[in-house]
Amino acid sequence: MPIRILDFVLPLAEEETSLKAKLAQSLRVSVEEIEDFKIVKKSLDARHKNRIQFVYSIEILLKPPREEELLRNPSSPLKIRKVLPLTPLPSITILRKPAYRPIVVGTGPAGLFAAMRLTEAGWPPFIVERGPEILQRVKDVEAFWKDGTINPESNVQFGEGGAGTFSD
C-alpha cells in the first residue's frame, strides 16, 4: 500500500526529474527501493521572494517492508501518512419526490457539496447566498484590508465561496 508524503519541497532551480532521487535521499532509502511514485498535488510557494519553491504531496510505493518501517519511525523529518483506500460515497436513493425544492444556504464548501449531492440524487436545490459574486466581494474585502471600510453584506464571511475564499 502506498504512503503519502506531505509538504515535500523542491527548490525552483531544481528539475522535477530529480524528485525520485531527492525522495530516496530524504527517506534514507535507495532509489531502487522506490517501486513507483506519483505527484498528487503540486503548489508554488512564493511567499519569500528569495526562496521560491515547489511544494508537493506525493504518493510513493516502496518495496516491503520499508513502508511499515517508515510509518513507525517517529524521528523522520518528513510528514508521512498511510494512504487509506478511498471509498466511494454511497448513492442517495430517492424514496419520493419532495413537494418543494430543497434549500441550501451558502456557497461555501459545505453548501456547494450539499448542492452537488442533492443534484446527483435528482433533487436540484435552490441555493441562497447572502453576499455578492466573487469579483465584487474581492474588491470589498481589499477595501477593508486597505482602509478598514466594511460592507456588512460583502466581507470575508458572506459571499460566493464562503469564508474559505480568503483563508490563505
State the CATH number of the domain containing residue 58.
3.30.70.2700
pLDDT of the residue at 30: 86
Residue 97 resides in a domain: no
- 10 lies in the same domain as 74: yes
Residue 13 resides in a domain: yes
pLDDT of the residue at 133: 83
> In which band, very low, low, confident or very high, does the pLDDT at 102 lie, cut at 50, 70 and 90?
very high
> In which band, very low, low, confident or very high, does the pLDDT at 84 lie, cut at 50, 70 and 90?
low
Residue 102 resides in a domain: no
* Range with top average pLDDT, 20-29, 35-44, 57-66, 92-101: 35-44
List, in order, residues 6 or more apart from 136 with CB less than 8 Å away. Answer: 154, 159
Residue 100 resides in a domain: no
Is 103 a residue whose pLDDT tops 80? yes
Is 17 a residue whose pLDDT tops 70? yes
Residue 118 resides in a domain: no
pLDDT single digits (tens) 56-82 = 988 888 887 766 666 666 556 666 666
Domain count of the chain? 2
pLDDT of the residue at 49: 85
Q: What's the average model confidence in pLDDT over 24-31?
A: 85
Residue 104 resides in a domain: no
pLDDT of the residue at 113: 92
Residue 38's domain comprises 3-82
pLDDT of the residue at 168: 60
More confident residue, 94 or 55: 55
Average pLDDT, the chain: 83
Tell me the C-alpha distance between 46 and 12, whole Å.
10
Residue 99 resides in a domain: no
67-72 contacts at long range (C-beta below 8 A, 24 or more positions apart): 67/1, 67/2, 67/3, 70/3, 70/27, 71/3
Domain C-terminal end among 40, 63, 82: 82
Helices and strands: H and E segment counts in the chain? 4, 6
**Which residue's C-alpha cell is 519569500?**
48
CA dist list (Å): 139 to 89, 136, 151: 37, 5, 11
Residue 34 resides in a domain: yes
- 73 lies in the same domain as 139: no
